[in-house]
Structure 1
């Protein structure tokens, strides 16, 4: 009877122990490439069992290797390709799940969680659970064409670009076409960004892109066609003649477009023109006043005296000439002289020279015995 009771107690203790130290988790997990995944491994802790070690191993192609180990000295990552990408929670007792970040295709395989406890009688108890991880790729979504900073309407000769934007697991293959889907499109590029270093008029048209990756669906996604417009450069502005101060005409490719000058510029031009008019008027008035106060015309009194002496003859002429010569009269009177008066003065001078010669000849003849 005592043996029977002892056997019942042992069976109940073993059953209770198994219930406490049972590892729970998931047998199969499908992780997305370049994303994060958590491999669950949880048990219910008990005061009678103290956790000693937790080891995660990877069995891939029948070559097991230890990925992560936790013991009394701390956490240890034993495979270099997992460093910085795997971790285990510390805050929750009994939770020894493994988290893997930035999944790679080579991360697929069978991961085994092995936990070892120490019992009160110093014995060790080990439990383990295996989870299969498969890494898959997400198919690309429908691409969206995004323009450069200048938009879809760009001036000729400018630099611009079109970007094919999509979501999905890399690597993603891109293709650019000029035309419309389903039509006679021309393949122009195999990059995510379609660059135009210097736009030409021939670059104008519709464009669309395709995106594809190595997901299991193997579906090629196409974007909607977009219109790229190349705007011709306008000719330099041409100013109208200066008589039109209120506006100028800009010559463009499509014709003439009249554009008004700013108001402040019109006022400035008008003020300058008025000032110039006043300056010109002032200069003309000053010159006229100066000519009136200081006349420059001169009258020769000797010529007038000669004119009055034209009736003399013989000795009287000689005396008149000598008398005028001895006095040395050379008086000038400033009087306005007309154009015909200049001609008269010139004639008098010629007559005066002729008269002097005749008088001298007659005088010489009078001295001859």
Structure 2
């Protein structure tokens, strides 16, 4: 009975460990030539087990070859044809997926992910999972032409571009032609983007592009022709009546400006004559004009504006003399007046 209980416990533990450390991935996947692919291999980490090594092995023609190995010393790429093209993430514990960049046709094969853990009792546990990879070349699709921000109708002298876009296995080569497919065409570019730094009216016309890759089908695809129109100066000319109206308005404006200038000069000349005449009159009156802001400084004769008053004190006897003179003058004037009245009364 005790042996049966021990066996049940052992089987439960083994089943639990097996579920925790089970590798999850895909059995088959398809990659596109010259693109990137990720071969998934993920497990749920356990505190009872420590990851020791991860080995990715490629089986081709029944001969295994180690592509990638991770251990305590770091990551190692063991096949020269994969150097610089394979890697394994470090950010997520339990994720030991293999990423392959720039796939080549010879990368097709069976890839086995082998992980080894060490248990607390120093024992080792190993799990494996195999994924079959097939690298294919996808033929290029029919390209699409996209215009620049200004569209297909662009003013003369502007900068614009036409972009040719197609899907398929890289690398994809592009060619631009001016004209229509099947007609007289001119090769203008070997790039995906056709640039026009400064458009000319001669750039007006139809354009189309071709896309091609090295897929097994070797199919070349052509886009639909698009019309690029360059608006020149003749395309934006105004009607004749509008041009005449603009010319008449311009002449009228010029005449008004000339009249204002002449009027301003005449007004200024009249002001100068008035100032000159005014200054002449002032000179005849004995006045001197400065000519600044039409202001004149008048200078009268000294005889008119002289002040004979003195600030020296007057003596007392002088006051008496002045007073006496005034009194005598008043008496004389009074006597003369009385005598005149008497003479008037004589018959």
- The residue that corresponds to 1:260 in the other structure is 246
Change (3 A) 1:261 1:42: same
CA distance in 2, matches of 1:102, 1:45: 31
Classify the secondary structure of the residue corresponding to 1:273. helix
2:77 aligned with 1:91: no
User: Once the 2 structures are TM-superposed, how far is the Cα of residue 172 of structure 1 from its aligned partner?
Assistant: 1.2
C-alpha contact (below 8 Å) 2:111/2:133 kept by paired residues: yes
Classify the secondary structure of the residue corresponding to 1:270. helix
Please list every run of 5 or more consecutive structure 2 residues that lacks an aligned counterpart in the other structure: 278-347
Change (3 A) 1:258 1:152: farther
Classify the secondary structure of the residue corresponding to 2:259. helix
User: Once the 2 structures are TM-superposed, how far is the Cα of residue 209 of structure 1 from its aligned partner?
Assistant: 1.8
CA deviation digits over 1:336-357, x for unaligned, max 9? xxxxxxxxxxxxxxxxxxxxxx
| Cα RMSD for the two superposed structures | 4.9
CA deviation digits over 1:97-141, x for unaligned, max 9? 323455455543332211223345534343323222223344444
- The residue that corresponds to 2:170 in the other structure is 170
Match 1:273 to one of 259, 264, 276: 259
CA distance in 2, matches of 1:121, 1:60: 37
CA deviation digits over 1:271-307, x for unaligned, max 9? 4324426757969xx8xxx9xxxxxxxxxxxxxxxxx
C-alpha contact (below 8 Å) 1:85/1:102 kept by paired residues: no
- The residue that corresponds to 2:300 in the other structure is none
- Which deviates more, 155-164 or 24-33? 155-164
User: Once the 2 structures are TM-superposed, how far is the Cα of residue 173 of structure 1 from its aligned partner?
Assistant: 2.5
C-alpha contact (below 8 Å) 2:179/2:186 kept by paired residues: no
User: Once the 2 structures are TM-superposed, how far is the Cα of residue 30 of structure 1 from its aligned partner?
Assistant: 0.9
CA distance in 1, matches of 2:128, 2:223: 49
CA deviation digits over 1:323-348, x for unaligned, max 9? xxxxxxxxxxxxxxxxxxxxxxxxxx
User: Once the 2 structures are TM-superposed, how far is the Cα of residue 40 of structure 1 from its aligned partner?
Assistant: 2.3
CA distance in 2, matches of 1:262, 1:60: 89
Classify the secondary structure of the residue corresponding to 1:188. strand
Count of matched residue pairs:
269
What pairs up with 1:1-369 in 2 under 5 angstroms?
A: 12=11, 16=15, 19-20=18-19, 22-33=22-33, 35-43=35-43, 49-60=49-60, 64-78=64-78, 81-83=82-84, 85-93=86-94, 95-101=95-101, 103-105=103-105, 107-119=107-119, 121-148=121-148, 151-154=151-154, 161-181=161-181, 183-184=182-183, 186-189=185-188, 190-195=190-195, 203-215=203-215, 220-234=220-234, 257-258=243-244, 260=246, 269-276=255-262, 279=265
User: Once the 2 structures are TM-superposed, how far is the Cα of residue 171 of structure 1 from its aligned partner?
Assistant: 1.3
Classify the secondary structure of the residue corresponding to 1:169. coil
- The residue that corresponds to 2:314 in the other structure is none
User: Once the 2 structures are TM-superposed, how far is the Cα of residue 27 of structure 1 from its aligned partner?
Assistant: 2.4
Change (3 A) 1:67 1:277: same
CA distance in 1, matches of 2:217, 2:34: 18
CA distance in 2, matches of 1:79, 1:65: 8
C-alpha contact (below 8 Å) 2:156/2:200 kept by paired residues: yes
C-alpha contact (below 8 Å) 2:35/2:169 kept by paired residues: no
Q: What is the TM-score normalised by the length of structure 2?
A: 0.56
- The residue that corresponds to 1:314 in the other structure is none
Change (3 A) 1:74 1:203: closer
CA distance in 1, matches of 2:165, 2:134: 27
Change (3 A) 1:273 1:63: farther
Change (3 A) 1:266 1:143: farther
- Which deviates more, 259-268 or 99-108? 259-268
Please list every run of 5 or more consecutive structure 1 residues that lacks an aligned counterpart in the other structure: 236-250, 291-369
